[in-house]
Amino acid sequence: MSRPIRVLGLGGSMSSPSSSMAALKIALEGAREAGAETSLIDVASLNLPMYSPGEEAITPAIRELNDHVHAADGMLWSSPLYHGAISGLFKNALDWLELLHDYKPPYLSGKVIGLISTAGGAQALQAVNNMEFIVRAMRGWAVPLVAPISRAWTVFDGDGQSKDPKIASQLKMLGQEVTRAAARMRDSA
C-alpha cells in the first residue's frame, strides 16, 4: 500500500484573526476527508527575512519551509488580497522557495496547487490570478477550481469558523480536488 497523499497548506497573514488562515484550515479539512495527510505552515510564524537573491545566510525556518514544500504532493495556498495583489508576507515566503531549484525535481515540478484568496472587498480573484502566475513560473500545476472569497469579514467569525455553508463546502471541495489531482499526478510519475 502506498503512503497517503501529502497536502501542505501555506498561508496566513499578520491579522488576528486571519480570514485567509481560516479558509485554509477548512480547505485542509476537505483534503483530510479525501484521505490526505495534511500539514500547515502559517507564514506569519516563520519570521522570514526579506528574500534577497544569492543570500548566503539561510535560516532554519527557510530550510524547513523548502523541505516541507518539497515533501508535499499537493499544496493549498491562501493569501489575503492587499491592494490588488497577494500580501507581501506571502510573496516573501514564495520567493524563498527559490532554494527549491537545487532539489530533485526542482521547484514545484509535479506538485498540484489549490488557490484561495480572501478580500475585504469584491476583488478576491486578483490574488488568485497572482498566485496562478507564480505556480506556473515555478513549474507547478494549479487546479482549475479556485476559492476567491470576497467580503471575507462577513464569511468568518472571530474563531475562524465559516458562517457561510456554501463557501465552506467550496473550500472543502478544493482540498478534495487537490488531493485527487495530486494522487493522479503521483501515480502517473
73 φ/ψ sector (left φ>0, alpha ψ -120 to 50, else beta): alpha
Name residues whose C-beta falls within 8 Å of residue 39's C-beta, 6 or more positions apart in sequence: 6, 7, 8, 9, 68, 72
CB of 56 closer than 8 Å to CB of 1: no
- DSSP of 104-137: SS-TTTT-EEEEEEE-SSS-THHHHHHHHHHHHH
Burial of 37 (0-12, 13-18, 19+ CB in 10 A): middle
Cα–Cα distance measured from residue 135 to residue 163, given in angstroms and rounded to the nearest whole number: 30
Cell of 140: 507547478
Q: Is the pTM of this model over 0.85?
A: yes
CB of 89 closer than 8 Å to CB of 22: no
Instruction: List, for residues 82-99, the tens digit of each pLDDT value.
Output: 998 899 999 999 999 999
Work out the number of other CB atoms within 10 angstroms of the CB of residue 184.
12
What pLDDT does residue 1 have? 54
Cα–Cα distance measured from residue 148 to residue 159, given in angstroms and rounded to the nearest whole number: 20
Cell of 127: 490574488
* Mean pLDDT value across residues 174-178: 98
Cell of 189: 510519475
- Give all domains of the chain, ordered by start, each with its CATH number: 6-188 (3.40.50.360)
Instruction: List, for residues 161-172, the tens digit of each pLDDT value.
Output: 888 999 999 999
* Mean pLDDT value across residues 166-187: 95
What pLDDT does residue 120 have? 83
ω into 17 cis (within 30 of 0): yes
